[in-house]
């Protein structure tokens, strides 16, 4: 009934994080680190399940790196 598409919201969230970390020397690492530190694994999984549609390329790369560095994918 709320009409909230929570996945779309996650897409928006990660893209917003990307926009705010673009000036980091390693934006992909910064985004990955941020998501790792503050997102629950289920949110990461939900986003992964959604695929790359609408995701900023940096976000896609960050999600990828997150899987490698932190084992979120294994979750």
Partner 1 sequence: MGYEPQADFGTPAVTAQTRVSLLIDGRAISVPTGTTVMRAAALAGGSIPKLCATDTLKQFGSCRLCLVEIDGMRGTPASCTTLASEGMVVHTQTSRLEKLRRGVMELYISDHPLDCLTCSANNDCELQDTAAQVGLRDVRYGYQGDNHLGAAPDQSNPYFDFDPSKCIVCSRCVRACDEVQGTFALTIAGRGFESKVSAGVASDDFFSSECVSCGACVAACPTATLNEKAVTAIGKPERAVITTCAYCGVGCTFRAEMRGEQVVRMVPWKDGKANRGHSCVKGRFAWGYARHQDRITTPMIRNAITEPWREVSWDEAISFAASEFKRIAAQHGNNALGGIVSSRCTNEEGFLVQKLVRAGFGTNNVDTCARVCHSPTGYGLKNTFGTSAGTQDFDSVEACDVMLVIGANPTDGHPVFASRMKRRLRQGAKLIVIDPRRTDIVRSPHIEADYHLALRPGTNVAVLTALAHVIVTEGLVDEAFVRDRCDQDEFRDWAEFVADARHSPEFLAPVIGVAAQDLRGAARLFATGGNGAIYYGLGVTEHSQGSSTVMAIANLAMATGNIGRRGVGVNPLRGQNNVQGACDMGSFPHELSGYRHVSDPAARALFEAEWGVPIDPEPGLRIPNMLDAATDGLFKGIYIQGEDILQSDPDTRHVAAGLAAMECVIVQDLFLNETANYAHVFLPGSTFLEKSGTFTNAERRIQMVRKVMEPLNGFEDWQVTQALARAMGLDWNYTHAREIMDEIARLTPTFAGVSFARLDAEGSLQWPVNAAFPDGAPIMHVDGFVRGKGKFVVTDYVPTDERTGPRYPLLLTTGRILSQYNVGAQTRRTENARWHLEDVLEIHPSDAENRGLRDGDWVRLASRAGETTLRAQITDRVAPGVVYTTFHHPTTQANVVTTDNSDWATNCPEYKVTAVQVTPSNGPSQWQLDYDAQSDAARRITATAAE
Q: Which residues bind partner 1 (CB under 8 A)?
A: 1-2, 4, 6, 9, 12-13, 16-17, 19-20, 22-24, 34, 36-43, 75
Q: Which is nearer to partner 1, 1 or 53 (CB)?
A: 1
Burial class (CB in 10 A: 0-12, 13-18, 19+), 73: middle
State the minimum distance, in angstroms, from the CB of residue 48 to partner 1. Answer: 15
DSSP characters over 34-51: HHHHHS-HHHHHHHHHH-
Q: Which is nearer to partner 1, 24 or 64 (CB)?
A: 24
């Amino acid at each position: 009934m709320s009409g909230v598409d929570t996945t779309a919201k996650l897409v928006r969230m990660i893209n917003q994080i990307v926009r705010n970390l673009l000036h980091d020397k390693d934006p992909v690492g910064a985004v990955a680190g941020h998501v790792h530190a503050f997102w629950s694994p289920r949110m990461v999984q939900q986003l992964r399940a959604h695929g790359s549609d609408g995701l900023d390329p940096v976000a896609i790369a960050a999600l990828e790196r997150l899987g490698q560095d932190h084992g979120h994918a294994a979750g």
